[in-house]
Amino acid sequence: MPAKQKIAIIGVGLLGGSLALALKKQKGVELVGWNHRASSRKKASKIIRVAESFEKAVAGAQTIVLCAHSNSIIPELRQIRPLIAQGALVMDVSSVKGAVVQQAVRVPRASTYFVPCHPMAGKERSGPDNADADLYRKKIVFITPLPKTSWKLLGKAGLFWKKVGAIPVFTGSLAHDKAVAMTSHLPHLLASAMIDLYGRQEAKSPLFKKAVGSGFGDFTRIAAGSPAMWRDIVEMNSVEIKKSLSQYRRRLEELEAKLEKGKGRFWYDFFERARAVREKL
């Protein structure tokens, strides 16, 4: 009987836990996880076997997936470099790729085993308790190679994600960061700013809480995300987020100038265009 393929998941939270649940459905796989905090390891042990140490988790693993926050990827990559098996594949799932790629090229031989990835999947609630075996199904996973990454290694990464139901898309790290700044990072910033403004107004008058409807809940839902994760994202992709925020601010200024009586036709066309674009998502 052939030996099982060892897959190590470092950081068994929402993304890592969901990956573990999806991989459990596959035959010939030996799963092992590791979280740096003891309390997180206890939660993770409910869905995956947790190793005795970080070193034992990655030792002999054919595939290692780093599911920690964006600014933890490179330190972990340096930590596992002397421990990884020959021919091993190492991936991450962090939301920012430009800074990761820029720093990874300075890690010796990283292009021979490390493939940066970003699955466009998640929930507003983090932690392994919210893990979902179908989280990656039919979701895009961006793969942003290092300059010297071989097509063979990229193929292994793409096949890995296909096996959990995801759709791999290969692109450059900077193009990735520009796109997700608009579609993911800016919306989170806006939702958080809105809920922060609401909190200040609600503290002055209880009427605001009574006026909350489903639309406000939908708009601000993502503000419930992990503060630590989003702190890292905003700092690491600040340049592209700032560009998107500037574009959004200019659009708001244009709309503000139209807020006067007699502009009904403008507003009808504006909302119709927005509705049409939204229905195509």
Domain 175-279, CATH 1.10.3660.10 — does that match? yes
What pLDDT score was predicted for residue 26?
Answer: 87
What pLDDT score was predicted for residue 122?
Answer: 79
Q: What are the structural domain ranges in the chain?
A: 5-171, 175-279
Residues constituting the chain: 281
What pLDDT score was predicted for residue 2?
Answer: 55
CB 100 within 8 A of CB 116: yes
Contacts of residue 201, Cβ cutoff 8 Å, sequence gap at least 6: 208
Closest to 95 in 3D by CA, of 160, 20, 164, 189: 189
Q: Which stretches in the chain have pLDDT values below 50?
A: 1
What pLDDT score was predicted for residue 112?
Answer: 94
CATH architecture of the domain with residue range 5-171:
3-Layer(aba) Sandwich (3.40)
Q: Which residues pair with 143 in a beta bridge?
A: 117, 170
Q: Would you say the CATH fold of 175-279 matches that of 5-171? A: no
Q: Identify residue 74 by its one-letter amino acid code.
A: I
Closest to 157 in 3D by CA, of 7, 49, 11, 3: 7
Q: Which residues pair with 50 in a beta bridge?
A: 33
